[in-house]
A and B are shown apart, each in its own frame.
Chain A
Amino acid sequence: MDEAGVRWTTEQVLALAPDDASRRAGARLSAAGPWSEAGSSGEGAVWGLCKGSGKKPYQTVIDTKGPAYKCSCPSRKFPCKHALGLLMLWAAEGESAVRTVVDVGEGQAPDWAQEWLGGRRERSEEQARKAKDAAGGAAGQLDPEAARRRAERRAARITGGALELEQRLADLLRGGLAAAERSGYGLWEETAARMVDAQAPGLAARVRELGSIPGSGAGWPVRLLEESALLHLLDLGWLGIDRLPAPLATTVRTRVGLPSPADGPPVKDHWLVLAQYDTSDGKITTRRIWLYGRESGRTALVLGFGAAGRSAQPALPVGLVIEAELTPHAGAGQLRADLGEEVGVPAGGGAPPPGGTTTAAVEAYGSALREDPWLESWPVTLTGVVPVPEEDGWQLADADGESALPIAPASLGRPGLWKLVALSGGGPVTVFGECGHRGFTPLAAWSADSPETVRLT
């Protein structure tokens, strides 16, 4: 197959939509006849004119490397419905012999599209040059002394926060967790605000989490004790950071909320996009993308962020393989990496990563905890597992054994679970997901009769 020419699938395009409304609006535009002068180049550009309510049609252009979008419509959604519709039109034509709706043939981009595409290319070359200069020359024009002073000031504030938090935890334990249920959420909210003041967002998030535990159902005192203890451990880690080995110290800094540098040696590889999903705290949407390197065998996590109402960036097509350079973040047992600017045109061929049994999965999580005690879960691939219903949920059982992993409670209400059960039909499947102390969160699956990646998020 011509690697450059692989078009995405409709599902992969739908996955880029910032919300359900755009997904539907996009699907509608993909079927309509409002498109004209649509076309695509073998190098990942897709363009078209879409007739809207006004006189002048909207100009929509997409660079599938990236991917990046531009549309002359006033929508604040990103990508907008026009970009989604055009991509779907383009995707649907990939293997269909029928070109009756709109022909998104190959060709030369019109001037208005070329302008933006060219600009993009120049910018990325510019950036690459800058990055090279920066790497080659000294640390830039920044004043290293001032930076050091700033860092020290912030560290001192965090230390103050950690000490205060220790005091709160001691008070909590002295008075008893039973009282925590009565004191309500307000107390924790206030403590979390103090941690924000102390410039320790990691601590603040954990404190907020503590506040939600007393209302979380049976067994909450045990969970509250566990999480308080781990928070205490993090405080101690910060307060004694000088005595920690360097990688663990970096992990503690990251957990507390200091930005960790992406300074590992870059890894160039063909990365299979395993999963992409968003979580939101109401203000910020966090996007998590799991990648598996075909040659390196590495699993990496790319994080993206978006303000409320805007979809997080980047957006990668699940199930396809992209060629890209990833720069790992520092820290013990960290999988986070930054995606390089240059992303090759996605290609097909999304066979699952090699996997193992449920036993191997919990062992992998256990060993990862040695490097980072605050890890909630660890990415694993399970091969030959069967989804099995049990009394209050589901589990994934080894097809040829007695062991099983319970599916994490948060996944039980999601549509992905039913896709997984349907795909299995009671037989073995391969599942990628996050394995942790709360159970297994399935994110992607493959079955013997359809090798393509089925998105469960």
Chain B
Amino acid sequence: MTRTTLWEELVTSALLGTDRRTPPADVMASGQDAPGALLDAAALHTLRRRAGLLPARAAARPEPAPHDDRRELPEPARRRLAQLLADRSAPAGTGGRRGTAPDLTELLPQWLTTANDQGYRAPAAALPALLDAARGRNDLRPHALAFAGPRGLWLARFNPDWKFALRGASGGAVLPGAGDTGAVARLWEQGLFAERVALLAAVRAQDANAARALLATTWPTERAEDRLMFLDSLRAGLSDLDEPFLEEALSDRSRNVRATAAELLSALPNSALAGRMAARAATCVSLDRTGGPTGPPVVVEAPHECDADMQRDGVSPTPPSGRGERSWWLGQLVEATPLSVWPGRLGDRTPDEIVTLPVLDGWTDELHAAWCRAAVRQRDPRWARALLGPPAASPATGPGASSLAERAKLLATLPAAERAGWVAEFIAAHGLSEAFQLLGVCAVPWSEPLGRAVVDALDIARDGGSYPWSFSGVMGLAERCLNPAEASRLEILTATPDEPEGASPGAGGYWSEAFQRLVSTLRLRAAMLSELTTGG
């Protein structure tokens, strides 16, 4: 009996029981009882099999990971990354008190951004932890994937948990140079969607015409949602040269594509669409020549219908519930009208003067909100400034923007230094309770005046005797955004102050803790940045 069949016989006999199936005769020759003989033979066979094991046949080898020619991370930075990733899965702070230790998870995005800027490549052994971190946190994804690079994408193909990396932003996909037309055309024809979006953006950054030509080659055959994404990528570096393409897209089959094309055209003040919208808006908004006590008021006559031409130009006919049709249409017209129309239309006034004009029949909010959207869309700092008004003015009574969200968007159109200065003055006048959203659009690290305004406001809040966790949002932002160089100036605030009359019990100690954490986080950020910028 061959060895294999003997083993099969043994297994069968063991499975059914030796009482029912006697083991093979040559096993029984030893004269033992059946179970003992069977176990003897099985032990011999098992050992023979284990001792005689041979390697398996190798399966097809995977394509090696593409080469990543970015620099290797310096040793201290590598350790720091290991530390940041080790803290990654820590639960979010429970309750108000966070102790004095920095929240490392919050520093990971900054670390990744700097490492990417410096052109470092991720250490291979850190890739799984990096992909896991990116999987759990959407905000980390673009940076983590860019840092993970081509090897990260290569790795992600093997683990279904990391599928997101393949469909998300293209991360570190290796793009051909814009000059290599053959490779560009091939990737455009055959690439994954994310790769194609990245390719289009890369080509456009170098040669807007070439990018449009590339897009035109396949435009009619793209799916509607893909057309939308591709069209959206024209937003970067938008110019009058894009107008013909966009005009054509106004008659696209998809309503979303049409609306996006119209939006882009309206951001081009010289476009035919902008002209058509200006003509429509001009009939709706005019000066009352009869004048008024504080200057001539603005008269608004909202459109009475939304005709086919308006719809073709991207005006959506149906308002969201709770809004009137006519004011809905008016808002869209004004939003899409070049702001340069208004000074001429409203008595040669500057934007500052225009926003202070009274508006008849309660149309003020509607009109100003539309101007705010237009200023953001057209990235017009003069109008943005006028609509924002002076930072110290009370948000409730001033003209122009009334919501913090609008203000934040308007601020984003101003140069970084001016933005920071405006927010600093706003905080000095109104404190921190409304500043959170505005701080979010300021450049990091915060400019010196802005940082000082925030710290002063925190100091005032402490003197006021409240608990620091009322300000935990701003505190958290400060940990991430304050210039690390401020750390030494802040040291003095870490002392536990005497408790003032009427203060919340123990608040002083908690503030001291919060400032300690702020200082140590800043120190840590300074160390982090220096490891990434001076090492290697």
Residue of chain B at shortest CB distance from A435 = B53
Q: Considering the complex of A and B, which 9 residue pairs feature the smallest CB-CB distances, nearest first?
A: A176-B17, A426-B64, A229-B42, A425-B65, A403-B55, A173-B35, A397-B58, A33-B520, A96-B76
Contact residues in B for A422 (Cβ distance below 8 Å): 124-125, 127-128, 151, 155
Measured CB to CB, the residues of A under 8 A from B are 9-11, 14, 20, 23-24, 27-34, 51, 88, 91-92, 95-98, 100-101, 166, 169-179, 221-222, 225-226, 228-230, 232-233, 358-359, 361-362, 365-367, 369-370, 373, 386, 388-391, 395, 397-398, 401-406, 415, 418-419, 421-423, 425-427, 437, 447, 449-450, 454
In the assembled complex, B323 has its CB within 8 A of some CB on chain A: no
Measured CB to CB, the residues of B under 8 A from A are 10-11, 14-20, 33-36, 38-40, 42-43, 45-47, 49-65, 72, 75-76, 79-80, 82-83, 86-87, 89-90, 99-102, 104, 123-125, 127-129, 151, 154-155, 158-159, 516-517, 519-520, 523-524, 526-527, 530-531, 534
Give complex CA distance A30, B84 in Å.
11
Distance (whole angstroms) from the CB of A310 to the closest CB of chain B: 21
B11 in contact with A229 (CB, 8 Å)? no
Distance (whole angstroms) from the CB of A343 to the closest CB of chain B: 23
Q: Per a CB cutoff under 8 Å, which of B18, B128, B129, B527 touches A101?
A: B527
Given A14-B82, A88-B83, does the pair A98, B530 have CB atoms closer than 8 Å? Answer: yes
B51 in contact with A101 (CB, 8 Å)? no
Give complex CA distance A168, B90 in Å.
50
Contact residues in B for A23 (Cβ distance below 8 Å): 86
A406 in contact with B17 (CB, 8 Å)? no
B16 in contact with A176 (CB, 8 Å)? yes
Given A24-B90, A425-B124, does the pair A176, B155 have CB atoms closer than 8 Å? Answer: no
A423 in contact with B62 (CB, 8 Å)? no
Given A173-B18, A226-B46, A366-B51, does the pair A31, B104 have CB atoms closer than 8 Å? Answer: yes
Contact residues in B for A31 (Cβ distance below 8 Å): 83, 101-102, 104, 520, 524
Give complex CA distance A255, B289 in Å.
106
Q: Per a CB cutoff under 8 Å, which of B42, B57, B83 touches A92?
A: B83
B61 in contact with A174 (CB, 8 Å)? no
Distance (whole angstroms) from the CB of A155 to the closest CB of chain B: 22
Distance (whole angstroms) from the CB of A385 to the closest CB of chain B: 10
A170 in contact with B100 (CB, 8 Å)? no
A398 in contact with B35 (CB, 8 Å)? no
Give complex CA distance A171, B128 in Å.
50
A406 in contact with B56 (CB, 8 Å)? yes
B125 in contact with A423 (CB, 8 Å)? yes
Q: Per a CB cutoff under 8 Å, which of A24, A98, A397, A418 touches B155?
A: A418
Given A100-B523, A169-B35, A369-B50, does the pair A225, B151 have CB atoms closer than 8 Å? Answer: no
B19 in contact with A454 (CB, 8 Å)? no
Distance (whole angstroms) from the CB of A20 to the closest CB of chain B: 8
A425 in contact with B64 (CB, 8 Å)? yes
A27 in contact with B17 (CB, 8 Å)? no
A24 in contact with B59 (CB, 8 Å)? no
B86 in contact with A95 (CB, 8 Å)? no
Given A24-B89, A100-B523, A365-B53, does the pair A179, B17 have CB atoms closer than 8 Å? Answer: yes
